[in-house]
Structure 1
Amino acid sequence: MRLRLAVTFSCIVPCLLLLLPAPSTSQNSFVCSRATYYGSPDCLGTPSGACGYGEFGRTINGGDVGAVGRLYRNGTGCGACYQVRCTHAQLCTEEGVHVVVTDHGEGDYTDFILSPRAFVNLAHQNMALDLLAYGVINVEYRRVSCQYPGQNLMFKIQEHSKFPNYLAIIILYQTGQMDILTVELWEEDCQQWREMRRSYGAVWDIVNPPLGPLNLRFQASGDGEVKWVQVGNVIPSDWKAGVAYDSAIQL
């Protein structure tokens, strides 16, 4: 996505009513950059984002989502959360907005292309139209912890999976500031872990996956540490495309 499209006033009003900034949990220093927004008739994200989240990517975090350029990091940056605030004090709040990365895109020397909802949530409530008129604005941002109260880590079977010969998964509700680097499945017959391929974005796949309930582990990195997290029998033997399975754990 490269072009900023027009947003109607009817779209702006409900966005303003949903302004609910979350508290920051990170002590990282802010980085100066620029941000713009993309066209969306309902202010939300896009189901065709490069992270592979589909419809989930439209509404996660209330629709406060964005596409990023260099922060995408070949898909490793998918699901990361950032506090973004514009530097125009008269137009924008001091808190800014917390966004989730759901897509890859490059704008006019920008690090963020925000959903319209996220963009107007940068502004004071009576300044949204003035901010939109700028199109591209100076911002500062920092990585913060993702927070999904009441949600465990979920493993969704991507819709293009074909039981039992091809399995692709997407990891949802990834909290904290951890990046998932590797995903592996336990092969009981060979008594070894089989590495899944990062197909694109946040989608991991494997041909001829192990049979039976799947034991899965993934390597996560962040906050100065790298660790393995193992989840037993999280995906049943009769898994189905499009279904999300609860891990019963939080990262």
Structure 2
Amino acid sequence: MTSLRLQLLIFYLIPLLTKLQAIPKEEEWKSATATYTKETDGSIITEGACGYGDLHKASYGKHSAGLSTMLFNKGSTCGACFELRCVDHILWCLQGSPSVILTATDFCPPNYGLSSDYGGWCNFPKQHFQMSEAAFAEIAEKRADIVPVQYKRVKCGRRGGIRFSVSGSAHFFQVLITNVGLDGEVVAVKVKGSKTGWMPMARNWGQNWHCNINLMGQQLSFEVTASTGRTVTSYGVAPPNWQFGGMYEGKQFK
């Protein structure tokens, strides 16, 4: 009887334990620093190392950030979302430590001619965020040069589907991927023409992906994989008469 009860207990517990292990743990807060740069339109840049171009058209706008080498990770972090809050500075941090959510859109290059405590804030291995003036003002006094912050990766809240901006030439097909939900970080992309099978694409730079094949005149489908391992497939994103320079919208991570 005891053996039977033990077997029944194991039978009911295993599915429960498996379910609990599948629930993602909330990220812990990590320490970094933050500064801001002035721009008349509220963005930190209009062109950046992630290749998004006009950040307002890319829907990131003032809530964009340039990341130091340690965080940028050779561009793979482009599109990822971070929650930041100013901490441990009674003079510069806003009362209550409000937080702001930013999208990684650019690289903050190191400046080894300056001290990492003054000017060389993005020197390796510093963890640093270069923010827009407007976003910085949501967590700290603008009179501050640099503030200590805490950050953590969070889910990206996006409106609409993933966007695919096509460029290149007949034998060099490139697509810029923006407005990615979930964790925002794309790690793999595949493309399929109406006359081809699924073909893996290589990261060119930032979130620009390419392959050397002529897909003109074919309906296009895309498969996007995020760093969490989840994949979303968008069939028939672009019609057979798609054009270089066009932007097409697919499905979104749920």
TM range (shorter): 0.7 to 0.9
Q: Kindly state the Cα deviation for residue 58 of structure 1 after the two structures are TM-superposed.
A: 7.1
Secondary structure of 2:142's match?
Answer: helix
Q: Kindly state the Cα deviation for residue 192 of structure 1 after the two structures are TM-superposed.
A: 3.8
The answer as to whether partners of 1:57 and 1:102 remain within 8 angstroms in 2 is no
Secondary structure of 2:59's match?
Answer: helix
Q: Which residue of 2 aligns with 1:134?
A: 144
Change (3 A) 1:57 1:200: farther
Measure the CA separation in 1 of the matches of 2:107 and 2:241.
33
Q: Which amino acid aligns with 1:134?
A: A
Q: Which residue of 2 aligns with 1:120?
A: 137
State the number of aligned residues. 211
> Where does the alignment leave 5 or more consecutive residues of structure 1 unmatched?
1-25, 124-130
Within the alignment, does 1:144 sit opposite 2:144 as a pair? no
TM superposition outliers: structure 1 runs of 4+ over 4 Å: none
Within the alignment, does 1:170 sit opposite 2:169 as a pair? no
Q: Which amino acid aligns with 2:31?
A: C
Q: Which amino acid aligns with 1:168?
A: Q
Measure the CA separation in 2 of the matches of 1:165 and 1:50.
24
* Superposition pairs of residues 50-199 of structure 1, within 5 angstroms: 50-56=49-55, 60-69=59-68, 70-87=70-87, 88-89=89-90, 91-92=93-94, 93-106=96-109, 107-108=120-121, 109-123=126-140, 131-149=141-159, 151-158=160-167, 161-162=168-169, 164-186=170-192, 192-199=197-204
Task: Output the TM-score relative to the length of structure 1.
Answer: 0.75
Measure the CA separation in 1 of the matches of 2:211 and 2:182.
27
Q: Kindly state the Cα deviation for residue 110 of structure 1 after the two structures are TM-superposed.
A: 4.4
Q: Kindly state the Cα deviation for residue 187 of structure 1 after the two structures are TM-superposed.
A: 5.6
Query: Root-mean-square deviation (CA), in Å?
Result: 2.3
Measure the CA separation in 2 of the matches of 1:82 and 1:235.
31
Measure the CA separation in 2 of the matches of 1:236 and 1:196.
20
Change (3 A) 1:65 1:51: same
**Percent identity, aligned pairs only?**
24
Per-residue CA deviations over 1:98-142 (Å, capped at 9, x if unaligned) read: 11110011451442111111111113xxxxxxx233211111001
Pick from 189, 203, 207 the counterpart of residue 212 of structure 2: 207
Q: Which residue of 2 aligns with 1:7?
A: none
Q: Which amino acid aligns with 1:27?
A: E
State the structure with more CA Rg.
Answer: 2
Measure the CA separation in 2 of the matches of 1:218 and 1:96.
30
Measure the CA separation in 2 of the matches of 1:187 and 1:241.
15
Measure the CA separation in 2 of the matches of 1:210 and 1:243.
14
> Where does the alignment leave 5 or more consecutive residues of structure 2 unmatched?
1-24, 110-119
Q: Kindly state the Cα deviation for residue 188 of structure 1 after the two structures are TM-superposed.
A: 6.0
Secondary structure of 1:146's match?
Answer: coil
